[in-house]
Each structure stands twice: as structure tokens, then as C-alpha cells.
Amino acid sequence: MARPVKDLPKDRIADPDALFALCDRLYPICRSITGPGVRETLAVIQESIELSIIEVPSGTPVFDWTVPLEWTLREAWVEDPSGTRVIDVADHNLHVVSYSTPVDMTLSREALEAHLHSLPEQPDAIPYRTSYYAETWGFCVSHERRTQLPKGTYRVHIDATLAPGSMSYGECFIPGTSGKEILVSTHICHPSLANDNLSGISVATHLAKHFANAGELRHGMRFVFVPGTIGAITWLAQNEDLIPNIISGLVLSGIGDSGPLTYKRSRRGDGLIDRLFEHHLAALPNANIRPFIPYGYDERQYCSPGIDISAGCLMRTPYGEYPEYHSSGDNLAFINAASLAESAEVCARVLQDAQCVDRYRNLQPKCEPQLGRRGLYDNVGGENQSKDAQLALLWMLSYSDGHHSTLDIQQLSGIDLTALNHAAERLIASDLLALEPFGAI
Amino acid sequence: MARPVKDLPKDRIADPDALFALCDRLYPICRSITGPGVRETLAVIQESIELSIIEVPSGTPVFDWTVPLEWTLREAWVEDPSGTRVIDVADHNLHVVSYSTPVDMTLSREALEAHLHSLPEQPDAIPYRTSYYAETWGFCVSHERRTQLPKGTYRVHIDATLAPGSMSYGECFIPGTSGKEILVSTHICHPSLANDNLSGISVATHLAKHFANAGELRHGMRFVFVPGTIGAITWLAQNEDLIPNIISGLVLSGIGDSGPLTYKRSRRGDGLIDRLFEHHLAALPNANIRPFIPYGYDERQYCSPGIDISAGCLMRTPYGEYPEYHSSGDNLAFINAASLAESAEVCARVLQDAQCVDRYRNLQPKCEPQLGRRGLYDNVGGENQSKDAQLALLWMLSYSDGHHSTLDIQQLSGIDLTALNHAAERLIASDLLALEPFGAI
Amino acid sequence: MARPVKDLPKDRIADPDALFALCDRLYPICRSITGPGVRETLAVIQESIELSIIEVPSGTPVFDWTVPLEWTLREAWVEDPSGTRVIDVADHNLHVVSYSTPVDMTLSREALEAHLHSLPEQPDAIPYRTSYYAETWGFCVSHERRTQLPKGTYRVHIDATLAPGSMSYGECFIPGTSGKEILVSTHICHPSLANDNLSGISVATHLAKHFANAGELRHGMRFVFVPGTIGAITWLAQNEDLIPNIISGLVLSGIGDSGPLTYKRSRRGDGLIDRLFEHHLAALPNANIRPFIPYGYDERQYCSPGIDISAGCLMRTPYGEYPEYHSSGDNLAFINAASLAESAEVCARVLQDAQCVDRYRNLQPKCEPQLGRRGLYDNVGGENQSKDAQLALLWMLSYSDGHHSTLDIQQLSGIDLTALNHAAERLIASDLLALEPFGAI
């Protein structure tokens, strides 16, 4: 049996400043679902953890989808009638619609209008727009700037390549002894957006580093860093054989802002990950839990009925519910080290608890075994030494009946999973308990 | 696949005045469980809908029962010692105990007493009494009148026939494409009682007319107009082969008074009809829902354990909870057009929703299918066009996993059944969804 | 079919004074898990009920345990330096640690210290201590006395035998017709402790006497009087063949104090006994129900996963939650006749109801059978005679579908089990209902 990860150390699993610093370092990179920005991002992550980087050629069929052409952007700007560059991706990565086709032409202010995107209600923010699956081009600009653009002839210039290449994603697997695993997934395709999703990338990276150094694991942990939607679909299509081994999944997104933690349940609603977040968020007064909806991040793919992983999503303020969402307002000032650290801490506790979830069988199920002669019980009735430890033994024996997991026993007894796991180890050492093959929890 | 009934028109499914007018027209007829009154009633209904009228011979065994002799009443009166007709069925149909045996005799005031029925607590109301299964005769009279009858010799005269004949009932079936059906049942055996049950007869007739003209149905709808108890038993005994096809049933009774709507659940408690009434009555502040009890109207028969249709009963003020119940107080002044119309409207909405309840299978269940290339999804991320329609597609895909019906998806998503049904049609047209054979919902 | 026990008589099942008197009589006896005190106790119980007394030889293996040596205590005292007997079991049975090995020696005050037990927080109480499974000796004393013992040389003297013999327990079985039975268990191993557990012994004895005289039983009732833990384990080990027949179990302990009734659920949580106590305690404003924990009295053994009887435990103030617990404070002044009588009454009602729990099958399940021609129903509609009795018939017919027990029907209908049982008898007499073999309730 695996020696479980030891109790979380009292200090944080990652230094808050280090969590922020990784976001800071990745912020300037111009990412999209394919291309050099993703590769650069994965290379940075690789400095912290053992990351395999997989390249999937354009045109590869992945379930109902096809890996797209690779997009390489060099320049993108608009010159006004006076020849001034009034919009330039060199100033902000969000200025160009991601996956824009190359263009170099002059056109009237009126004709330009159809290719501009802005947010009238947030006049100073640049929106984030993509067009992965419809060939077009466009610029994103603050509404303020847009309304100031005078009449006349404009030059638009996008120097980009949309050509066969590959889509990149990263994967870090830490094996466990049970043959089962927990999936942690985060998307890596957004340019210069801090909360969505440098926060997720930074926390996932630090979690992977933490668990890689935590000792032998019971359940494997697989961290995937994938372009949104197409990346998750590609990973699933190329790893269908692994799916039956995945106990639960966790998607990390938007966990660096100052809002309260928000957990969105998996489609099943009562998977391992759901039950663990229920437990751990109950202790946080502002945290909240939402039911599954089939809209959001890559939990959409992991939870799809033919895949059916119980994958939840951790957020702070949910997507679309803060004005900075998908705009230049989602910058480094919008996130903070303390929020990143709290998010990382809660994830670590949940994932640590997941390591302790198992099902055992009482090998002496007829009446209580005589714990006293095995040194597991006080021999003078009425003494109170190590009552809690004794109770944990009794709970494990009483409910290790083939029906209850340690997670069930935690919920019935209120004894934490680490203590139950420790009781299980003592009982196994006394031949009173045996680990069951891992089944549904 | 059936094109479902379109959204309910904004105007009411039936004109309130027309609903009341049918009650008014049927009120004077002297009905019982058999005989000319029932036939006359069915003939009136037949003017509005395609009604088959079935005659079942007296003596036909129906499960544990036998179709009774046919009762034909011509005259029934009591003359007091002075020769005045003090009680006369010609004045009010309720004056005679239904199924009274013929009698023509003189007897003392004291001997008469055993054959009189009145309501001491409602001294001016004539009670409604029947004696279908014990041969006797009797008169119903206001308590006021009863106490005024002087001593002396009375003549009682009931000119009636109790003889082999038949029991009549009516049936209107509107077929659907699923091979399944919804049963709507109302009793037609009460004489001159408006709420119980001309209200039910009128609403059922107008619902049948509405759905007969509503376009192709998914699930068939069967409206039965039966004498209470023995009629429902007879219908079930003669149509046992249809029972497995019946998804749910609805018994209509007492839905014309001014009390709030009251739905009584089926014996199962969570059948299709129960869940739909839960949903629709939640929107009505005064409406209420009661658990099943094995006492009441013909849901007793439909829900009996060997039949086990999930049949609920819609009422306004429940039977026995208004003083006018089963007395001459339940007259046309006790019901009103607006109540009839609201009852009809809620039934129509429930039955319309029932048409949209089905179970589908996602044909591309591994990850989300690429809706964009099928024209089912915005291609420029961030735009909000037709978000609701897109969400309906995603909900249908996500939960059409063989376990969830559209009713389940409605409850999870809050999206109404008509919109889900529309999403299903679009997905079927794109080969992304298939209708499953109808199973338990 | 068994004629069920008739309604509880209006007077109490046992005279409060008789309940107290039995405690009073048993209080002076020096009990342990084996030895003459247990035999003397069982002999007193045998005066009231037909009790089989079983002797199990020391060394008999019982599951993971072994029946211990028999302990016979003759004398146990401590003399202070002046030769005064400052601690003497002749003064109070609690003064010696139960199962102390024989000793006769002089030793210093300091060396004596390790063999003394007292309660600093309750300075005038003598604690109750045992050492069944570790060979040692000791004395229990009030903390007040302990601190007053001067320095000097003490003589300790325990004249006891720990030798092969036997462990005794008592059993009273009252057979029923179903082949199933209810187990009532109470422990008999505590010396001079009134609430824990003379209260349980007295109530169990009076319940056994009551049901032995109550007429033919449907379900057998087995009362066992066993030494705690080892006695229950021994009974189970020697009666494994009976376990499948046990519907539910009830452990009685600490039910004589003035605290409110407290029921602790079985491990399953929803066994017959749990549901009956839920029902009966709901009527008592102060009573409360607790979930199962694998610590407490012999329900630990009965509920162990390889035995899995749904056995709950009735207490008043739970063990460990009153300062008098396991000390000389738990004396006859701590219990009272009224509390004993209320405990006995509630148990009797629960056990009486258990007699009425069964599952039936409606033999005419298609529609309602015609009750009228069988004399089970009013023939003139509208009359209200014996409405409740008729309703009980309808509930039994409606839910005797193979899925619902009379306990389920009680919960659905609110009709008490005795009335449902009476309805069942009437329907069986009319060939409308049949008793099903007893299965899980």
C-alpha cells in the first residue's frame, strides 16, 4: 500500500510571491491556441516541473474536431489617415483578433468599422476576441479610441501566417500506486490576460511541483496545460485509454482575483472532487458552490457524456461576472499574491485529501476484533488516552464493509481523511484491514 | 419525429363563456351511472369532439365487479297526507336516491322517515345520495322541508326500471407518433351537480377539442368520459392492452369553483404528471399539491397497484371540504367562467409540456461536437447572439446520456420544455442527437 | 397468521415501583464479567421470567476473542500505616479494580500510588475501573480519601481467584409465527451501578414478562442478559445461525436517570427499530435521536459489519455525559421509578408496533375490489360510518404492492400500525390480501 502524502506542511505550498512572479513573467507573451506563444509559455513552465511537451500536427482529427492550422503573428497595426499607428499589437497583445488572417490594405473608416471590436460600456478597455473557426481578421480597441478615429483612408496590416504546423500542449504526470489518477487541467491559450488564465497556470505549476516532491503517491496526478477547448479535446482523443483510470478532474481558471472562491460541480455533481470541495469550502465563510452547467471552461469536455469524468472547476469571481473579464482590465493589477496563494492552498488540501480516499475491507468483520491484545486499545477501561486515535480505528473497522470509502467515513465521523488513513495503516499492520481494489467512491 | 404541438396561443385555449355554457347546458340532465342521462350527456359532448360511445352490457364482468343493471327513471315523488306532492324529482334531480328501486305505496310518516335523507347542518340543501350496489329506494330533501312534513299517511311513487341494458361511456383518442399516450379522465354520472362534475366534463371536452386541432402529436392523448368508479374499472378491464402505453393520467373533478387549484399526486408520487403539475403550479401563488391517498375520484382505480398508472387528480377546493359538496348547493352559481378557464389553461400547459417530454441520445458524446461548423454556434468568441438558444443546445447534448429526459433537463437548466424540444430538433437535423424509444421518464 | 398482540393496556406495562424494586434488589451484588455476582443476578431475574442460563467455559474461542478466566473476589482492602482499613470492598463494590489479580503485600505510600484510581474533579466519588485483559491489580477511591492517605507502609490485600471456570449469560426467548425475531440486549456485568445498568436489566426483565403474557406473537422476541462486550460477542459467536432471522435489535442501557430519552440509531440508520423509535419519540418533546457511532454499548457488536443487525441503543442521558457515570454517584438515588416506567413504556410501544410490521400482497390488485358486497364498505354513498376503518382497508389494498410494508403504510397514511394490522386481518378473511414471506422492511 502506498505511503500517503504526509500532512500539509504548516507553511504554504507555494510562496505567494512566487505564484505572482510566474504570472508576471508569462503576462507579456502573445499566446493563442497554437503558435510560438504557447511554446514559449510551456518552456517557462518546464523550468519548474518535469513537463512533456506534445506537438499535434494540424489536420489531426480529434473526435468531431480537427487540429487547426498554426497561427504565427508577427505584426498587426492600423494607420489612420495621417499615417499614425493608432492601433498596434506591439502596444497590447489584445489589439488583434486572435487567429486573424493576414491582411494588408487600405480602406475607408466606414469599411474598417466592421473589423473593429470595442466595449461601449467599458470605454477604456480593449476587449479580447478570437476567431479560430471562421476565417476573418479584426482589431480590438478601446471604445474611447474607436470613437475618436476620424474619417478618411486607413491602412490595416496583419503580418501573420495561418499554415500547417502543430498545436502544442504540456503534460506532467506523477505516478501513484493505485493505477488511478486525478487530472488537473488549465488552459494556456490566452494572451496577456492575468486572471484568465495565468492564475490557473501558475497554481497548477506550483501544485505539480509540490506533489512531485511529496513522497510516494497513492493515486497518480496528471497536470495538463492545454489550449482551451481544442486542447482538452485533443488530449482526450489521444488518451482515451487513460480515461477509465481518472477518478476525478479539476479545471483551474480565474483564481487570482480578490473575489471569493467559487467551485462549480461536475456534471455528475457528486464525484470525488465535488465532495472534497464541499468539505473544504465549508470552512471558508465566503466560498460558494455552483451546480454544473454545460458552459464554461474545459470541464465541458471532461464532463461530456461520452467522457464522463467528474471534473469540477475552481474559480474565484466566475467568468463573465466581473467587468474586467476578457478585456485588458484583466491585467496583473487585477490579481494578487494572497488570492493566488489561498487558491493554491485549497487545491493542495483537496488533492492531498484525494490521496487518502480509498475503500478498505474489515478482515475481522464479526464483532469488534480485540484491539487491546494488539496494542491498539487502552486496557484499563475508563482511561482516555488517545481516544481520538482509538475512535478512528473503530470507525474504520465499523464501516469498512465494502460499501463505504474513507470519504464516506470522514463524512459520517467528522474525522479527517489523514487521520483515517493513519488508522487504516495501523489496522493493516495488524492484519485487521485490507485495501480494496479502487472502485467508484 | 413528431413535430410537437406549437406554443400555446396567447389567447386562452377555450373561451371562458364557452366553458361555462357547456356546464349550463348539461346541468338539467338527470345522470346516473347508467341510463338515458349519460347517453344524452355524451351526445352533447359529441357535438364538440369526435367521441366514440361504447355500450357495455349489464352483467359484463369487469375485474372484481359486474356492470350493473341499467336504471331508467321516469317519475319520483312523495305526496303528503293532503295529496300535495311535497317532494318531486321533477323539481330537482337530487330528490331521488340514485338507483332507487321502483315503489308505489302508502306508508306512515314514521315509516317514510327511514327513506328520507337530509343535511341537518345545511337545512336548505338537498343532499346527493346513491345506492348503486344495495337495492333500496329513498328520497333526498332539505332538512327544513323534512322537519315540516306532518304526521299522516304518505304516498311514495318511483316509476323506474332497473333492468338489463348497458352502461355507456365516451372516448376520444388523438393519436401521437411515439406509441405512448396520456390519459385524461372525468366522471359523467352525477346529476345536476355543477362543480362535481360538469366542470370536469366541460374542461376535458375543450382540451380534447384543442389538442385535436393542435397539429401532429408526439404522445397520443386519450380522453375518457366515464361513470365514476364502475366506468373507470370497466374502461381499464376492457383496455388492459393499452395500459402499458399510458405514460401518465389526469383525473379532472371539481375545477369550476372559486377556490385555489389543488393537485393530488399519483400513488407513485413522481410520475410525469406529478412533476409537470409541480412545475406549473409553482408559478401560481395559491395553488397547492397534496400527497396521494387511496380515496377520492377515479385515480383510485388508475393508481391501483395492479394497474399502476401515475394518475393525479386536479381539483380546486377538494371534495368534502366545501359545504356545497354533493348537495343542491353545488349548482351553476357555485362555479364561474374564470375558474373554469384557469383550470383549462393550466391543464393545457401541462399536457402541452407532456408532449415535449422525451429522452434523446447524444450521437457525438465524446467532448462537445463542433457546433460552429454546423451553423449552431457563434464563430467569433465573445459575441452574445442567441446565447439562450446555444445554451439549450449545450444542455441537450450534455444530458442526453441515456439517463436524463427533457423533463430532467428542464429541471436542471430552468429552460422550458418547448425550447429544449426546439433545440432537440435542431440537433437531430444536424445528426447530433437521436430520439430514444420512450421509457420511464 | 399470528393474532397480534393487543393494544397496550392503559395502565403501564410494569408498575414503576416494581421496576425500581428490582434495581434496588440487584444493587448490592458485586458483578463482573464472570463469577458469582453474575450468576446471582441471573437467578434473581429468573424469578420473574423463564430464563435459560448458559455457562461458557473459560478459553472458549469466540470470533477474535477468548472467554476469559473466571474471577472470584472474596476480600480486597488496604491498611494504612496505623493498620486501619482505609479502603475496603466490603464498604463499596467499586473499591477494587474489577478483575484484579490476587495480591498480599506491604508497600510504601509512593509505590501504592500507581495502583490507586480516583477522580480529582469529583473528589468524593469512587470511580469504576476494570482490567479484564491486562493482568494487574488496583483500588478505586475517592480523591478526597486518596489525598488524605499519609506517608508510610501500607498493606494491600486482594483475596481473589482468576482461574478457569465459565462465563454466564441469560436468555429468554418468546417465539413468534413468522420465524423472525427481535433481539433485546442488556449488559449485566457492572457492580453497584444503578443507571448503568440495573435500569436496563430491570426494564428488559419487565418487558420480557409483559410479552411472554401478551398472547401469540408474530415475530419472536429474544431477551439476552449478557456481560458487556465479551458476552455479546459470545452470544453472537454461539448463535450465528440465528442472526439472519433477527429483524432488528435493541440495546438497553442507562434508562433510569431523569434525563430525556435518547435513541442512538443502528449502523444502517434506517432499520425497523430506527424507524419505530423515530415515530414514537417524535411524540415526546424532549426526546432526541443520535446517529450511530462505533463506540458505546453492545450495539457495537450487533452492528459490526459482519453481523450487521440493525440494533439501536436506548439511553436517557448518554454515557459519559453525566458526572455520575461510572462512579459511585451512579447509585439508587440517581435513578427513579417514573423514568424507569417511561422508558419501559416507550420500549413496549416500539416492540408492540414491531409485532405489526409485515408486508402483504393485494390479491385483487387491478382496480379496487368491490368491498361493499363483502360487507367491508358503506353501500349508501355519502354516509360516514366507520370512515377510518374503511380508509385503513383502502390504504392496505393500495400499497400492498410487494414494495411497501405496514411500516411504510403507517408513515404514508398516519394510521397506526395496530389499525393497519386489523385492516389486514379483515382483508385476509375476505381473500383480498395475503401475508408475504418476511423480507427486509
Rounded distance between C-alpha atoms, residue B194 and residue B260, angstroms: 17
Q: What is the pLDDT of residue B379?
A: 53
Distance separating alpha carbons of residues A25 and A352, to the nearest angstrom: 28
Say what the pLDDT of residue A227 is: 98
Where do runs of H (alpha helix) occur along B282-435? 299-302, 337-355, 387-399, 406-413, 417-429
In the prediction, which pLDDT does A287 show? 97
> Nearest 10 degrees: CA dihedral of A67, A69, A75, A79?
-100
pLDDT in tens, C157-198: 999 999 999 999 999 999 999 999 999 999 999 999 999 999
Q: Which of C130, C133, C193, C243 to probe the A interface (max A CBs under 10 A)? A: C133
pLDDT at B8 over 70: no
Bridging pattern class, strands B153-163 and B70-79? antiparallel
* Cα separation values, C50 from B292, C24, C114, C176, C354, Å: 47, 21, 45, 16, 22
C-alpha A284 chain-centroid distance: 20
Q: Flag if B117 and C369 touch (Cβ within 8 Å).
A: no
User: What's the CATH class of domain C72-163?
Assistant: alpha beta
Mean pLDDT within A225-245:
98
Placement of cell 458487556 in the chain: C228
| Confidence bin at B9 (pLDDT 50/70/90) | very low
Cα separation, B218 vs B424, in Å, equals 13
Q: Average pLDDT, stretch B267-285?
A: 95
pLDDT (0 to 100) of residue A133: 86
Q: Quick check: A366 contacting C, CB < 8 Å?
A: yes
* Helix then strand then coil, % of chain C, to nearest 5: 30, 25, 45
Q: Does the beta carbon of A373 lie under 8 angstroms from any beta carbon of chain C? A: yes
| Touching subunits for chain A (3+ Cβ pairs under 8 A) | B, C
Nearest Cα to Cα of residue B340 among B224, B250, B280, B257? B257
C128 within 8 A of C228, measured Cβ to Cβ: no
In eight-state DSSP terms, residue A127 is B
Q: Which residues of C touch B306 (CB under 8 A)?
A: 362, 364-367
Nearest to A341, CA basis, from A224, A251, A210? A210
On whether the CB atoms of residues C138 and C98 are closer than 8 A, the answer is no
Mean pLDDT of A287-296: 97
H or E element at residue B202: helix B200-212
pLDDT for the residue C437: 83
For cell 466592421, the residue is A114
Distances (CA, A) of B219 to B57, B276, B313, B345: 31, 15, 20, 19
Question: What was the pLDDT predicted at A381?
Answer: 52
Q: What is the distance between the alpha carbons of residues B265 and B314, in angstroms, rounded to a whole number?
A: 9
Instruction: State the count of interchain CB pairs (< 8 A) between A and B.
Output: 88
The distance in angstroms from the start CA to the end CA of chain B is 18
Which of A33, A121, A133 to mutate to probe the B interface, most B CBs <10 Å? A133
Q: Do residue B399 and residue A305 have CB atoms under 8 angstroms apart?
A: yes
pLDDT at A3 > cutoff 50: no
Is the confidence at residue B201, as pLDDT, over 90? yes
Mean pLDDT of B294-300: 97
pLDDT at C8: 43
CB-CB under 8 Å, B64 with C394: no
Q: What is the pLDDT of residue C1?
A: 35
Task: Determine the 3-state secondary structure of C112 from DSSP.
Answer: helix
B239 touches chain C (CB under 8 A): no
Neighbours of chain C (3+ CB pairs under 8 A): A, B
Give the residue-averaged pLDDT of B104-120.
97
pLDDT of residue B4: 37
Mutation target among B133, B290, B310 for the C interface, most CBs of C within 10 A: B133
Is C413 part of the contact surface with chain B (CB cutoff 8 Å)? yes
Q: What is the ipTM of this complex?
A: 0.92
Residue A264 touches chain B, beta carbons under 8 Å: no
Give the model confidence (pLDDT) of B319-377 as tens digits.
999 999 999 999 999 999 999 999 999 999 999 999 999 999 999 999 999 998 998 98
| Contact criterion met (CB below 8 Å) for A213 and A174 | no
Chain C residue numbers with beta carbons less than 8 Å from the beta carbon of A395 are 293-294
**pLDDT band with cut points at 50, 70 and 90 for residue A180:** very high
Output the nine-digit C-alpha cell for C195.
Answer: 443507571
Which residues of A fall within a CB distance of 8 Å from C300? 368, 394, 398
Residue type, B18: A
Mean pLDDT to the nearest integer, C108-114: 97
How many whole angstroms separate alpha carbon B211 and alpha carbon C282?
Answer: 49
**Residue C387 pLDDT level (bands cut at 50, 70, 90):** confident
Cβ neighbours of C258 (radius 10 Å): 13
pLDDT for B125 equals 98
pLDDT exceeds 50 at position C393:
yes
Q: CB of A387 within 8 Å of any CB in chain C?
A: no
**Residues of chain A above pLDDT 90, percent:** 91
Q: Is the pLDDT of residue A144 over 80?
A: yes
Note the pLDDT of residue B90: 97
DSSP character at residue B198: I
Q: Do A367 and C63 touch (CB under 8 A)?
A: yes
**Which pLDDT belongs to residue C388?**
87
Find out whether B161 and B72 touch, Cβ atoms under 8 Å.
Answer: yes
Q: How far apart are CA B311 and CA B181, in angstroms?
A: 12
CA distances from C244 to A365, C294, C309 (A): 16, 21, 9
**Cα-to-chain-centroid distance, residue B205:** 10
B304, C367: Cβ pair inside 8 Å?
Answer: yes
**Chain C residues within 8 A of B301 when measuring between CB atoms:** 367-368
Residues of A in contact with B364 (CB under 8 A): 63-64, 306
What single-letter amino acid sits at C112? L
- What's the rounded mean pLDDT across residues A269-293? 96
pLDDT, position B388 = 87
* pLDDT surpasses 60 at C10: no
Question: Min CA distance, C365 vs chain B (Å)?
Answer: 4
> What's the pLDDT at C402?
87
Name the residue among C195, C274, C188, C175 with its Cα closest to residue C235.
C188
**Interchain contact A363–C (C-beta under 8 A):** no
Question: Of A82-86, A386-390, B227-231, where does mean pLDDT reach its minimum?
Answer: A386-390
- Write down the domain spans for chain B: 16-68+166-355, 72-163, 359-435
Q: What is the pLDDT, as a whole number, of residue A179? A: 92
Mean local confidence (pLDDT), A339-351: 96
| Residue B258: CA count within 13 A, CB half-sphere | 6
Alpha-carbon span C209 to A334, nearest angstrom: 77
Alpha helices in C282-375 (DSSP H): 299-302, 337-355
The reply to whether C369 touches chain B by the CB within 8 Å rule is yes
Tens-digit pLDDT profile for residues B367-418:
999 998 998 986 545 545 478 899 999 999 999 998 999 999 999 999 999 9
Substitution target in A64, A97, A117, A302 with the highest count of B β-carbons within 10 Å is: A64
Q: Do C295 and A401 touch (CB under 8 A)?
A: no
pLDDT value, residue A12 = 65
Sign of the Cα torsion A303, A304, A305, A308 reads: negative
Contact A89, A103 (CB under 8 A): no
Beta-carbon separation of C134 and A401 below 8 A: no
Question: Angle between the C337-355 and C200-212 helix axes, to the nearest 10 degrees?
Answer: 40
The mean pLDDT of A391-396, rounded to a whole number, is 97
B273 — pLDDT class (breaks 50, 70, 90): very high
* pLDDT surpassing 50 at residue A184: yes
Amino acid at B160: A
pLDDT over 80 at C385, yes or no: no
Can you say how many angstroms the Cα of residue B234 is from the centroid of all Cα atoms in its chain? 16
HSE-up of residue B165 (Cα within 13 Å, Cβ side): 14
The CATH number of the structural domain formed by B359-435 is 1.10.10.10
- For residue A438, pLDDT over 90 is answered with no
State the pLDDT at residue C7.
Answer: 44
Q: How confident is the model at residue A86 (pLDDT cuts 50, 70, 90)?
A: very high
- With a CB cutoff of 8 Å and minimum separation 6, the contacts of C354 are C182, C219, C247, C248, C272, C273, C276
Could you tell me which chains touch chain B, where touching means 3 or more CB pairs under 8 A?
A: A, C
Three cell numbers written together for A318? 466566475
SS3 string, A68-80, reads: CCEEEEEEEEEEC
Angle, helix A272-281 to helix A406-413, in steps of 10 degrees = 30
What pLDDT does B11 receive?
53
What does each C-alpha distance from B75 to B33, B92, B145, B158, B192 come to in angstroms? 18, 11, 20, 6, 16
Torsion of CA A101, A104, A106, A108, to 10 degrees: 20
CA distance to partner chain A, nearest, from residue C97 (Å): 9
Task: Look at residue C11 and tell me whether its pLDDT is greater than 70.
Answer: no
CB contact under 8 Å between A326 and B401, yes or no, is no
| All three cell numbers of B249 | 393520467
- End-to-end C-alpha distance for chain C, whole angstroms: 18
Question: Could you give the percent of chain B with pLDDT greater than 90?
Answer: 91
Strand blocks (E) in A309-397:
311-315, 359-362
Q: pLDDT category, B272, cuts 50, 70, 90?
A: very high
At residue B73, the pLDDT reads: 97
pTM of the predicted model as reported, rounded to 2 decimal places: 0.91
Band of pLDDT at residue B195, cut at 50, 70 and 90: very high
Q: Is pLDDT of C383 > 50?
A: no
- In this prediction, residue A388 carries a pLDDT of 87
Listed in sequence order, the residues at least 6 apart from B213 whose beta carbon sits closer than 8 Å to its beta carbon are none
Residue C266 CA from chain centroid, whole number: 13
A285 in Cβ contact with A380 (< 8 Å): no
**What is the Cα–Cα distance from A114 to A83, expressed in whole angstroms?**
20
Q: Which of B129, B130, B304 sits opposite C365 (nearest CB)?
A: B304
C-alpha cell at C170: 441469560
Helix pair B16-26, B200-212: axis angle to 10 deg: 130
pLDDT of A379 reads 53
Test B133 with C379 for CB contact under 8 angstroms: yes
The pLDDT of A175-180, averaged and rounded, is 94
Mark yes or no for CB contact B391/A232 under 8 Å: no
CB A398 within 8 A of CB C267: yes
Taking an 8 Å cut-off on Cβ atoms, the answer to whether C395 and B294 are in contact is yes
Q: Is residue A423 helix, strand or coil?
A: helix
**Does A395 sit within 8 Å of C294, measured CB to CB?**
yes
The domain over range B16-68+166-355 is classified in CATH as 3.40.630.10: yes
Is the per-residue pLDDT at A315 higher than 90? yes
By CB neighbour count within 10 A (0-12 exposed, 13-18 middle, 19+ buried), where does A378 fall? middle
| C-beta separation of B89 from B157 below 8 A | no
Using CA atoms, how far apart are residues B201 and A440, in angstroms rounded to an integer?
Answer: 53
- The reported pLDDT for the residue numbered B438 is 77
Q: Are strands C359-362 and B220-226 parallel, antiparallel or unpaired?
A: unpaired
Contacts of A383 (CB under 8 A, 6+ apart): none
Provide the pLDDT for residue B440. 66
Are C16-68+166-355 and C359-435 the same fold in CATH? Answer: no
Q: Give residue C438's pLDDT band: very low, low, confident or very high (50, 70, 90).
A: confident
Higher pLDDT, C11 or C4: C11
> E strand or H helix at C184, and its extent?
strand C181-187
Q: Is B386 on the interface with A (CB under 8 A)?
A: no
Question: Mean pLDDT, chain B, as a whole number?
Answer: 94
Q: Do A380 and C134 lie within an 8 Å CB cutoff?
A: yes
Q: How far apart are CA C239 and CA C221, in angstroms?
A: 15
Residue with cell string 476494570: C130
Helix (H, G, I), strand (E, B) or coil at A408: helix
Per-residue confidence band for C13, with pLDDT thresholds at 50, 70 and 90: confident
